[in-house]
Amino acid sequence: MLIRIDLQSEEPIYQQLFNRIVEGIASGALQPGETLPSVRSLAADLGINLHTVNKAYTYLRQEGYIQIHRQKGALVQPGPIPGADEAFMRRLEQRLRPLVAEAICRGVDEGRFREVCGRLYQQFGKGEMAT
């Protein structure tokens, strides 16, 4: 899978890496058990500090998206990724809250907001229309 990092973005690079990899898993571009580049080789390819990649991989591991083995290196979670528990749903709501607020301020009604969400689900091949 191709990972695209935007260097002018305000979003830090480790966050971009985290997001792109999770998106890859969601869309199936990254398959369960697929090996990922080592921290060193990914940092070298991007020409950035090892710590930046390390930080992204650490978060990914903590959230259960990847595993890091001493020998095999980093790989996409081969088993089931932890389901959405109460804590996750709470966090999801917290993160959506300001977005909904902004949307309301700009006159985006609930229907249009849902429409956007639906389109995003579709982009990952998980839309309800598709199935």
Partner 1 sequence: MNGLLTLMLLMVLVPLGVMVTAVPFLTRKTESFGVSIEERHWHDPEIRGMRRAYALGTGSFAALAILAGLAASAFLDENSLDWLLPALVGVMLAAHATFYLRFHFRMKALKERRGLVSSEQQLVVDTGFHREKRAFSNWWLIPHLVVAAATAAVCLIFYDRFPEQIVMQYDFQGNPSRVVDKSYATVLMPAVIQLLLVLVFRIVNFSIASSKQQLDAAHPQKSLRQNMIFRRQWSAFLLFSGFLLVLAIALLPLQMLLQFPPSVTIALLLAVVVVILLGVLTLGFMTGQGGSRILIREAAGAPAGTVNRDDDRYWKLGVFYFNPEDPALFLEKRFGVGWTINWARPAAWALVFGPVALIVAVSLALDS
Q: Please compute, for residue 33, the number of CA atoms within 13 A of its CA located in the half-sphere on the CB side.
A: 2
Paired strand residues for 66: 76
Using the rule CB under 8 A, is 2 a contact of partner 1? yes
104 binds partner 1 (CB under 8 A): no
Of the candidates 14, 18, 36, 77, which one interacts with partner 1 according to CB under 8 A?
36
Q: Stretches 30-38, 81-89, 105-113, 118-126: which one binds partner 1 (CB under 8 A)? A: 30-38
Can residue 5 be called a binding residue for partner 1 (CB under 8 A)?
Answer: yes
Task: Return the closest-CA partner of residue 14 out of 47, 44, 57.
Answer: 57
Name which position in 11, 12, 33, 50 contacts partner 1 (CB under 8 A): 50
Using the 8-state DSSP alphabet, how is residue 60 labeled? Answer: H
Distance CA 68, CA 65 (A): 10
Which residue's structure tokens are 């985006």?
A: 108
Beta bridge partners of 69: 73
Site for partner 1 (CB under 8 A): which residue of 41, 102, 110, 122? Answer: 41
Q: Which positions lie near partner 1, rule CB under 8 A?
A: 1-8, 21, 24, 30, 34-38, 40-50
